Amino acid sequence: MSAEQMNVGELLAATVPMAKTLNLQFLETTPERAVVRLPDQPDFHNHLGGPHAGAMFTLAESASGAIVLAAFGDQLSRAVPLAVKAEIGYKKLAKGVVTATATLGRPVAEVVAELDAGGRPEFPVTIAIQREDEAVTGEMVVLWTLRPNS
């Protein structure tokens, strides 16, 4: 399958080394929402038997990257998406399979209009990490930018 035929999730799963290492499953990748699952894997457990904090950070950051590529993939010829900063809070003990759901914090058209006007737009992506029982175990916000190509 060529890169042109792959959806965003398939492309990320095939090309991002950490996504492949953690066996992340990209369930949904649209400009409105990205959902990524981290299977329960003992090799990535912490001392409490749940997913390691670093694995959950990578899960959430990957979900944010997926929504950014789905929303702004058509801008890649003129701008590079870059994560500017990230903040994560671990709320409850995570056990078993965990899923990250990402949403954009600004409308796509607004971000593109700022890019069109010669700016370097920044926008937040909010991610909720949940166990299979739907309890939120973590929350993350990644601030992204579209850096214009010079």
Other C-beta atoms lying within 10 Å of the C-beta of residue 63: 34
Which residues in the chain show pLDDT less than 70? 1-6
CA nearest neighbour of 62 among 140, 148, 146, 147: 140
Residues in CB range of 67: below 8 A, 6 or more apart: 29, 30, 31, 32, 33, 34, 102, 103, 104, 125
Indicate the pTM of the whole model: 0.92
pLDDT digits (tens, 9 = 90+) for 111-125: 999 999 999 999 999
